[in-house]
Structure 1
Amino acid sequence: MAPTSPSVYARRGVVCTSHPLAASAGLRILQAGGNAADAAIATAACLPVLEPCSNGLGSDAFALIWDGTTLHGLNGSGRAPAAASADALRERGLTEVPLFGWDAVTVPGMVRAWADVHARFGRLPFADVLAPAIEYAEQGAPVPPMVAWGWGRGVRAAEDRLAAQPDPACAHFAALFGPAPEVGELRAFPAMAATLRAIADSHGEDFYSGDLATRIVAFAEQTGGLLAASDLADHRSQWVEPISARYRDHEVWEIPPNGQGIAALLALTILDGLPAEQVADWHVQVEAVKLALADTHAVVADPDVVDVPAAELLSAAHADRRRALIGDVAVAPDPVDPRASDTVYLCATDDDGMMVSFIQSNFHGFGSQVVVPDTGISLQNRGSGFSLVPGHPNELAGGKRPFHTIIPGFLARGGEAVGPYGVMGGHMQAQGHVQVALHTVDGRLDPQAALDRPRWFWDAATGRVLVEDRADPAVVASLRERGHDVAIAEHPAVFGRGQAIWRTAGGYVAGSESRADGVPMGW
């Protein structure tokens, strides 16, 4: 898939995401006097309506926000229900947390994240910011090609699973999302519109302590879920200090654990000690990422519950030790679980210099496939990110947050903001962050060109390196000669779908990669 358009240049602000109508909603908010935080929330609120196969009203979210002088981080991930336990699942003979049903559901954090970002940084009334999403839900919107592909894939998978294994918690899935739409087909969600209106009118509180919360908990009680009223009422987003690593003369910023952003930083720290011509070798990049992901999955969990050695992971001494393991042939670190992820990423900037990097996700497909009837609320399956290995730092426990794959990124240079960026897609996210950073810093490419460069993805479950069909044949041959199991990916979705906005002397330059439906919207 070749690049389809140049980067977009704009003076006053830009909104980028994987769906053009969501980006246009954010642009409308900017033009109505809102700031980048308002635009990001408006865009985020549209995406459960426009791209429900990737996120829902029961998702989690993370954000990095540059306010003009300081970078702020928000962790909007939810915790396991207080009644959840690894022992209970192991007693049922399970060795891993299921992907579907109530076992996979943690407290949805996304709606609270919208409200908390708005309370701290928003300018327009919350109801005005959510108005475009309500409009799309009520009146419908046509489905673009990549969303239609993901929607169809998710619906077919759910139909097959539920036909073989009926689950009362998932009995309302088909009524909300089926049948899969054709490209260009108009889809509306009246129940979701009513829920969004309740969220807008209550600044999100109805979802956690009002009528919506009551309906979520009642459905859990009826269908075997552990989610309780106190789990929802007690949920809070957490403002966190972002973490960073240097690469050349730039700094890459990420949300700290319980997410995998630290893997991208560790990989870049390893690569920073090598000359640019060596780093350009895909073999070297793959080996650095493999080492970083192996370390991340060994120790990263909820830092409120276990001690996560983030400083040690990013230390020069640790990077030196890991870098020394990169040789001329492929090595096989301990495998990790690269489950497919369905996620949306967005970024927004304004003419006051505020920049927002925001990501929200179901995790896998349509999430847990648990749909609360008559609400349009589909719940994520982030609980499947827990481990059931006794004693593992990420072992499931009540009130604990799971390991998260979704990560917003941010690039700076000499302490000055360059801009927000992200690449969605499970364990591709850390790998995509590394590759886009390399193309930007070493390759000196603009956002669109950096996003559209051919990519590789290390599939830790199989040890295979997937590459795009447009990758240089000589590069692919070199990987094989050096011991990598290489395959051409069947679909570009495996390589993520990213966006980026960089600040320029005259405003901003933005890209939204050709693997998705989105285009940057600027003014």
Structure 2
Amino acid sequence: MILLDPLYEPYPLSRKSVYAEKGMVATSQPLASQAGLDILKKGGNAIDAAIATAACLTVVEPTGNGVGGDAFALVWTKDKLHGLNASGPAPRSLSIDALQSAGYEEIPERGWIPVTVPGAPAGWAELSKQFGKLPLTEVLKPAIDYAEKGFPVSPVVARLWGEAYDTFSELEGTEFRSWFDAFAPCGRAPRAGETFRLPEQARTLREIASTNAESFYRGELAEEIERFAQRYDAYLTADDLASYRPEWVEPISVDYRGHKVWQIPPNGHGIVGLQALRMLDGFEFAERDTVDTHHKQMEAIKLSFADAMKYVTDQRYMDVSVEQLLSDEYLESRRGLIGETALEREAGNPKMGGTVYLATADNEGNMVSFIQSNYMGFGSGLVVPGTGISLHNRGYDFSMDKSHDNALQPGKKTYHTIIPGFLTKDGTAVGPFGVMGGMMQPQGHVQMIMNTVDFNLNPQAALDAPRWRWRDGNTISVEKTFPTHLVHALQKRGHNIEISANSIGDFGRGQIIWRDSKTGTLIGGSESRTDGSVSAY
């Protein structure tokens, strides 16, 4: 791979990529990045650093993830890529019939109904068991310390925390009171720079560390979760927790201009980015900021999302296979639908032929692409009393249509938006990359990979480049830094372009770490749209 001169600044105010040799951690919150680096310096590897950073993010960036969320990871170690799916299924007693009998026609965003089994703690323990060097008690220590002793709230986190406080203040029901006890004990969200403590979460993290997460699924913490659920006649039970295990999965990939781009297979929607890139591989792009480049990217994303929204779910329930969705024959037919003007798209028929993201690397060659989420910020709005466990609401994405591939069923995993990415070339790791932010994630992956491979941007420049986001139909949001002449040109091609001032919420927040194949030097970039930082040595 050819990377441009690190001093090249194609975009105003672009920060410089970070270069290092021994180790690197890139994430959306500086304290978490530093926590991961500290673990590397103590003799841990990239896997230990990823776990430490992930746990720390549940404390210092609770607006995007929590102990009661899901996680996915791609781990490069000993010249092989491994995939971990640590997302949880719907409770065994939760079904469409049960919800309809209770008077629900749709799955609500908040409360107990959208709560599925949290997978993140089991994911940490499994990663540590399989690939870690240090005990979990050592790896989770930075997170425990910040939760117990306090941390200064960073600016973007403070803003999102305030928005969550306003949202949850409008919710009715006593089940939400414990959220305010944990995250707004003074009757408001903390402000930027204020020190905030989460002592109950510190105790929970210590319990997870000392039991390798067993307590969360088959011990004292599981009992606390069940007691809270029973108080509100919720569907989640101790049996649902006890039966949960994360899954090692075979990563999926496509070829893109001499590289391989890797994702976790469904139930995640990383396949959206893979389909789009494979379609775009059939075109030539001379420059990034042209109407033709952006038009074709947008049309490929729309085609890919049309398929995902029809087919992607727990693989056991998909009507088509991953192989069919990624076959060259099928994607060639989809590529042929991309014309000169914007068109609304429907799913094809392959049978015919708010989240946090982090990246780590060490001097042993290990690299990790890791993502975890509570969904929609603080998720369900529920916090298990006395534990600081903020529960996610991932079940909201299930369909109530029994004929849909992603229809709610007991013990089924739903369509999942969080996706870690990884790039290789000639069987060698280039590195981890990712973008947090719901439906923006595969769209961000496509733009970042093309920025790197097609347009030779270094990691920080690839992240800083103005982004666009497909919404629905022919509606596309663009950042206010997006070139005005391209806005007009895309409108002439039939795109409904909306200029958004909300870069933090609308366009995702990403991280990249590449390893130079000739020198072994690590090159990292972190998101300028948030409090992101790269820690390295």
TM-score (norm 2): 0.93
Separation in 2 of the partners of 1:433 and 1:492?
A: 16
> Does the CA contact (< 8 Å) of 1:16 and 1:346 recur in 2?
yes
Q: Does 1:198 align with 2:207?
A: yes
* C-alpha deviation, 1:139, in angstroms: 0.7
Separation in 2 of the partners of 1:215 and 1:242?
A: 35
In structure 1, the residue matched to 2:315 is 303
Separation in 2 of the partners of 1:319 and 1:306?
A: 18
Separation in 2 of the partners of 1:2 and 1:466?
A: 20
In structure 1, the residue matched to 2:267 is 258
In structure 2, the residue matched to 1:239 is 248
1:468-487 matches, within 5 Å, as 468-487=479-498
In structure 2, the residue matched to 1:488 is 499
> Does the CA contact (< 8 Å) of 1:345 and 1:499 recur in 2?
yes
Residue 276 of structure 1 aligns to a residue whose secondary structure is coil
> Does the CA contact (< 8 Å) of 1:13 and 1:507 recur in 2?
no
Separation in 1 of the partners of 2:105 and 2:474?
A: 21
Separation in 1 of the partners of 2:303 and 2:103?
A: 32
After superposition, the C-alpha distances for 1:183-223 in whole angstroms (9 at most, x for unaligned) are 11111100000001101110111100111000100110011
* Equivalent position amino acid for 2:524 in 1: A
1:105-124 matches, within 5 Å, as 105-124=115-134
* C-alpha deviation, 1:321, in angstroms: 1.1
* C-alpha deviation, 1:65, in angstroms: 0.1
Mark the CA change 1:171 to 1:137 in structure 2 (over 3 Å): closer, same or farther: same
Runs of 4+ in 1 over 6 A off after TM superposition: none
After superposition, the C-alpha distances for 1:116-153 in whole angstroms (9 at most, x for unaligned) are 00000000111000000000000111111111111111
Q: Does 1:25 align with 2:35?
A: yes
Separation in 2 of the partners of 1:31 and 1:488?
A: 44
Residue 520 of structure 1 aligns to a residue whose secondary structure is strand
Q: Does 1:223 align with 2:235?
A: no
Separation in 2 of the partners of 1:443 and 1:57?
A: 38
After superposition, the C-alpha distances for 1:78-135 in whole angstroms (9 at most, x for unaligned) are 0000000012223344343111011110000000000000000000111000000000
> Does the CA contact (< 8 Å) of 2:14 and 2:460 recur in 1?
no
> Does the CA contact (< 8 Å) of 1:3 and 1:449 recur in 2?
no
Residue 118 of structure 1 aligns to a residue whose secondary structure is helix
* C-alpha deviation, 1:267, in angstroms: 0.3
> Does the CA contact (< 8 Å) of 1:278 and 1:284 recur in 2?
no
* C-alpha deviation, 1:68, in angstroms: 3.0
Q: Does 1:313 align with 2:325?
A: yes
1:271-290 matches, within 5 Å, as 271-277=280-286, 281-290=293-302
Mark the CA change 1:33 to 1:136 in structure 2 (over 3 Å): closer, same or farther: same
> Does the CA contact (< 8 Å) of 1:90 and 1:388 recur in 2?
no
After superposition, the C-alpha distances for 1:250-279 in whole angstroms (9 at most, x for unaligned) are 110000000000000000011001112388
* C-alpha deviation, 1:332, in angstroms: 1.2
Residue 451 of structure 1 aligns to a residue whose secondary structure is helix
Q: Out of 401, 404, 420, which is 1:408 matched to?
A: 420
In structure 2, the residue matched to 1:127 is 137
* C-alpha deviation, 1:377, in angstroms: 0.5
Q: Does 1:508 align with 2:522?
A: yes
After superposition, the C-alpha distances for 1:235-258 in whole angstroms (9 at most, x for unaligned) are 000000000011111110000000
In structure 1, the residue matched to 2:350 is none
* C-alpha deviation, 1:307, in angstroms: 4.6
Tell me how large the CA RMSD over aligned residues is.
1.4
* Equivalent position amino acid for 2:388 in 1: G
Separation in 1 of the partners of 2:103 and 2:229?
A: 22
* Equivalent position amino acid for 2:377 in 1: G
Separation in 2 of the partners of 1:2 and 1:368?
A: 38
Of all paired residues, the percent bearing the same amino acid is 51
> Does the CA contact (< 8 Å) of 2:474 and 2:494 recur in 1?
no
1:156-171 matches, within 5 Å, as 156-160=166-170, 162=171, 166-171=172-177
In structure 1, the residue matched to 2:156 is 146
Separation in 1 of the partners of 2:157 and 2:254?
A: 34
Residue 104 of structure 1 aligns to a residue whose secondary structure is coil
Q: Out of 298, 301, 305, which is 1:293 matched to?
A: 305
* C-alpha deviation, 1:173, in angstroms: 1.2
> Does the CA contact (< 8 Å) of 1:347 and 1:501 recur in 2?
yes
In structure 2, the residue matched to 1:82 is 92
Q: Does 1:499 align with 2:511?
A: yes
Residue 316 of structure 2 aligns to a residue whose secondary structure is coil
Unaligned stretches of 5+ residues in structure 1? 336-341
Residue 119 of structure 1 aligns to a residue whose secondary structure is helix
Separation in 2 of the partners of 1:91 and 1:508?
A: 56
Q: Out of 431, 441, 457, which is 1:445 matched to?
A: 457
* Equivalent position amino acid for 1:46 in 2: C
Separation in 2 of the partners of 1:410 and 1:231?
A: 32
Q: Out of 180, 194, 214, which is 1:185 matched to?
A: 194
Residue 277 of structure 1 aligns to a residue whose secondary structure is coil
Separation in 2 of the partners of 1:407 and 1:100?
A: 23
* C-alpha deviation, 1:169, in angstroms: 2.4
Residue 408 of structure 2 aligns to a residue whose secondary structure is coil
* Equivalent position amino acid for 1:364 in 2: M
In structure 2, the residue matched to 1:41 is 51
Separation in 2 of the partners of 1:467 and 1:334?
A: 23
